[in-house]
Structure 1
């Protein structure tokens, strides 16, 4: 973060959301930025190592990227063969290489919001959503690493390889300060309505997709919304928590 701190010396970084830090730093940078620099900035600000995500085969599990990603990569590679052959080749590439190729196709200076959108489309990592988790007091373990975690978080969301499954746990902080050792009944009911079920191996509520593909962003949002409702209820009843 040293370079970013220098670049934002006039701003109070601690008071800013992570997406704001990213926006302001890229505004300060003021020129086209390459993929390697983008991944370094994401690691510095969000603590997410996109290179490691790619190397370990983590990230979005999908049969194909969105059309704009596929078309951009095809053009840069001047691909021949059938569409299915082209798609199979692109999907065999490491995610960082797909990112490099697509940003090469993108060409002009790319805005911070566009960078985040491309990262979500390729890696399945929603930096906008992650930026809001600290205030939501929800920890997230995904892509083989802690994506967001603070000492006073009340719940933990864990996802498996490729984000094809997810399970929810009370945090150590919540257990130690309230005696709650299982998910509150209100949260259990909300999760059941979303399609979660009790998994005895995990000892908590669990959801898995049917086709070994990443859980959709809409479902992730519904899950976080359900947990946030219970966080608000708990903190309203326990103002010192």
Structure 2
């Protein structure tokens, strides 16, 4: 089975590339800054972590669903591999320009942000669950590659495939957790947005390069 051949570095590198999601990172950063000024820092930690948990949960179960779909599509590895390469190239170009390649409908972003700004941990969880579905196209190319490689073993409920999937999703939400901790502990919370604006284009370019490599990788595993 392919799950025995897939290596840790493939899962980790794909997850790191997927974790650079400008949609979710941008929304969470602005919402946490709003919460700090509206409700105080004591709510930031719980709301940010609950949002991250919601993203991880919805992303995980979305992955299981897509893996089942992929299992029954002929030539899915060719389709996903070529799509990954075609997506990576414009993302790299946009990142070099300091711009974002928008892959989600703009109205969906305020919808997610609205849940976060209510200042409730349960609304934050709902916002995270929603974000995992509606904002995932911003960066999910690597996820489809991994799901293509693991689809058979997820369908047959092999434990190792689910462990890989759980590890992947834990890494994906790391930037959200880091932003939450930074917003909670930093004295000057405006620095969080400044760092985000500077780092995201660079990280977006690096993640696009990884996506390009993953597309080539999956095409060689036929």
What interval of TM-score do these two structures reach, taking the shorter chain for normalisation? under 0.3
Higher relative contact order structure (alpha carbons within 8 Å, sequence separation ≥ 6): 2
How high is the TM-score relative to the length of structure 2?
Answer: 0.26
How high is the TM-score relative to the length of structure 1?
Answer: 0.25
